[in-house]
Amino acid sequence: MYQPYDNSMKAILKEDAADIVLQLLPGAIFVDVLDIEVLRSALRVDRVYQIYYQDRPHILHLEFQASSDKEMAQRLLFYHVGLWRDYKQPVISMVIYLFNAQMPTSPLLELSGNKRIITFHYHVLALWTLDAREYVQQHRLSMYTLLPAMGHADAHVLLQALEELVEYYKDSEAKLARRLLWFGTFLKRADTVTLEDKQKVRLRLDVFDKLLEENDFVLKQRALGEEQGKIDGEVEASQQILLDILQTRYPALTEHIRTRVLQTRQVEKLREAIKLIVNTSDEQNAHLVLDSLLT
């Protein structure tokens, strides 16, 4: 199912990166956004920044998670190594959990008996462990769109934040509309806000519905969301068909390959894999086919 939260985080950071990076990693000085589309590494990372930290250049890599992922730490390590190879600078890896979920514990250890082969330290930040009141008291407007996912985010705090956003962006209707959209997106999913308080805040947001309905950015985002929903539906259907075929023909291979199937988001690759698997004669050939096609 299409989830708008990762895209919202990327959009929020696109506009307020310098201040948000400082909030996420105190002491960091934002230098530049690194274009992840041109990285030599074949990575699907969320956000990468050049920063100055502890008196030297660093790379900051941020990943956003709306749910649990048992292989999150391993994925971070994979990204970390690729970025370190490309930039030859220390890499700070951070995963930000947007909503309550099971989280990995740093460091990730690779052991051979009692011998440590790899010790990988990374940062884990859970939004619900942050105190929304502190950000409002300090008037950290760059963080206001994330307040509904934080702790102590009651109606009083959220309504105050909305009024400050309206006042601050009164001369920029487009920027205000974007922030109201992101705020509402996180409010809808947040499990840190009571239903009663959500209703109070929703009433205030409803006042701005006309502004949101007429804003070009919001209209484009909704259109993209609908299109992405269709694509995600095709991806999930293809993934399930491939897994069903594998479970029927090569059950021993299914569990080994399941994660890679679910991580592959290109419909064409999945459909090609389905066609080839149907015509394979044994498990070894099936494995070779999947290795060549899947992420």
Say what the pLDDT of residue 224 is. 53
* Residues 8, 140: Cα–Cα separation, whole Å: 18
pLDDT above 70 as % of the chain: 84
Q: Which residue has the higher pLDDT, 178 or 141?
A: 141
Burial zone of 132 (CB within 10 Å; 0-12 exposed, 13-18 middle, 19+ buried):
buried
d(CA 255, CA 16) in angstroms, rounded, equals 41
Q: Is the pLDDT of residue 295 over 70?
A: no
- pTM for the structure as a whole: 0.68
Band the pLDDT of 225: cuts 50, 70, 90: low
b (16+ CB within 10 A) / e for 63-97? bbbbeebeebbebbbebbebbbebbeeebbbbbbb
Most confident of 70-79, 204-213, 228-237: 70-79
Q: Residue 92 corresponds to which tokens in the numbers above?
A: 């700070």
Residue 190 has pLDDT above 70, yes or no: yes
- pLDDT, mean of residues 147-163: 94
Tokens 């487009």 label which residue?
Answer: 174
Of residues 112 and 224, the one with the higher pLDDT is 112
Confidence check: pLDDT of 233 > 70 = no
45-49, 111-115, 116-120, 235-239: the lowest-pLDDT one: 235-239
Q: What angle do CA 26, 17, 72 make, to 5 degrees?
A: 75
Give the number of residues written for the chain. 295
pLDDT digits (tens, 9 = 90+) for 70-116: 889 998 999 999 899 889 999 999 999 999 888 999 999 999 999 99
Q: Which of 256, 162, 177 is nearest to 220 (CA)?
A: 177
Nearest to 279 by CA among 249, 253, 236: 249
- Cis, peptide link before residue 107, omega less than 30° from 0: yes
Tokens in use for 4? Answer: 């708008």
Gap between the Cα atoms of 146 and 133, Å rounded? 12
Instruction: Return the pLDDT at 38.
Output: 39
Q: Which helix (H) or strand (E) holds 117?
A: strand 115-120
| β partners of residue 33 | 49
CA distance 46 to 137: 30
Query: Sorting pLDDT into bands at 50, 70 and 90, what band is 132?
Result: very high
Crossing angle of helices 216-249 and 173-189, in 10° steps, is: 40
58 pLDDT tier (thresholds 50, 70, 90): very high
- At 10-42, the pLDDT tens digits run 778 888 888 899 999 999 999 888 865 434 444
Q: Which pLDDT does position 12 carry in this prediction? A: 84
